[in-house]
Amino acid sequence: MSAKNKGRQLPALLPLEYCSLARAARMLECETDDLLHWAEIKSIDLWLKLDEENCGVICFGEDVFQDLIKLRDDSNQADVSGLVDITAGLSTFFIESEYFEDQEFVNFKDDEGEIGDYLPSIEVTIMCGLWAVEFTDIVQRSNKTEGYFIPSVLYSDPTIDQRFIIDLDSEMRFNLADLLITRAELERLHASISSGIPLKSRYNDSEIEKISRAQIQRASNAKSAAERNSAPRAELVLSLLELVLGEESSLIDNPYALYQRVNKQLREANIIEPEITEQAFADILSKAKSARKDRLKNPS
| Residue-averaged pLDDT of the chain | 77
Q: Using the predicted structure, report yes or no on whether residue 81 has a pLDDT greater than 70.
A: no
Q: Based on the domain organization, do 132 and 92 belong to the same domain? A: yes
Same domain, 45 and 141: yes
pLDDT of residue 227: 38
Q: Domain of residue 239: give its range.
A: 231-297
**Final residue in a domain of this structure, among 197, 224, 251:** 224
**Do residues 151 and 243 share a domain?**
no
Per the structure, how many domains does the chain have? 2
Whether residue 257 sits in one domain with residue 122: no
Does residue 195 sit in the same domain as residue 214? yes
Q: Which of 72-76, 93-97, 186-190 has the lowest mean pLDDT?
A: 72-76
Mean pLDDT to the nearest integer, 101-120 = 55
Alpha-carbon distance of 46 to 130, in angstroms, equals 10
Lowest mean pLDDT among 58-62, 176-180, 295-299: 58-62
Q: Are residues 103 and 252 in the same domain?
A: no
Q: Are residues 260 and 132 in the same domain?
A: no
Q: 54-58, 207-211, 235-239: lowest mean pLDDT where?
A: 207-211
The answer to whether position 179 is within a domain reads yes
Q: Is residue 186 part of a domain?
A: yes
Instruction: For residues 126 and 250, state if they share a domain.
Output: no
Strand ranges, E, within 39-194: 46-53, 56-59, 83-88, 91-96, 121-124, 126-133, 142-143, 148-149, 153-155, 165-168, 180-182
Indicate whether 123 and 159 sit together in one domain. yes
* Residue 3 counted as domain residue: no
Least confident of 8-12, 216-220, 222-226: 222-226
What pLDDT band is residue 222 in, cutting at 50, 70 and 90?
very low
The span from the CA of 144 to the CA of 218, in Å, is: 24
Are 121 and 179 in the same domain?
Answer: yes
pTM check: above 0.75: no
Please, is 151 exposed, middle or buried when counting C-beta atoms within 10 Å of its C-beta (0-12, 13-18, 19+)? buried
Do 144 and 246 lie in one domain? The reply is no
Domain limit, last residue, from 224, 251, 278: 224
Residue at 13 is within a domain: no
What is the average per-residue pLDDT within 69-87?
69
Interatomic CA distance for residues 261 and 268, integer angstroms: 11
pLDDT at 153: 85
* Predicted pLDDT of residue 208: 64
Give the pLDDT confidence of 246-275 residue by residue, as tens digits: 877 777 888 888 888 888 888 888 887 776
Range in 64-73, 87-96, 223-232, 272-281 with the lowest mean pLDDT = 223-232
Cα 159 to its chain centre, rounded Å, is 15
Mean pLDDT of 159-187: 84
Domain boundary among 193, 224, 255: 224
In-domain check, residue 161: yes
2 lies in some domain: no
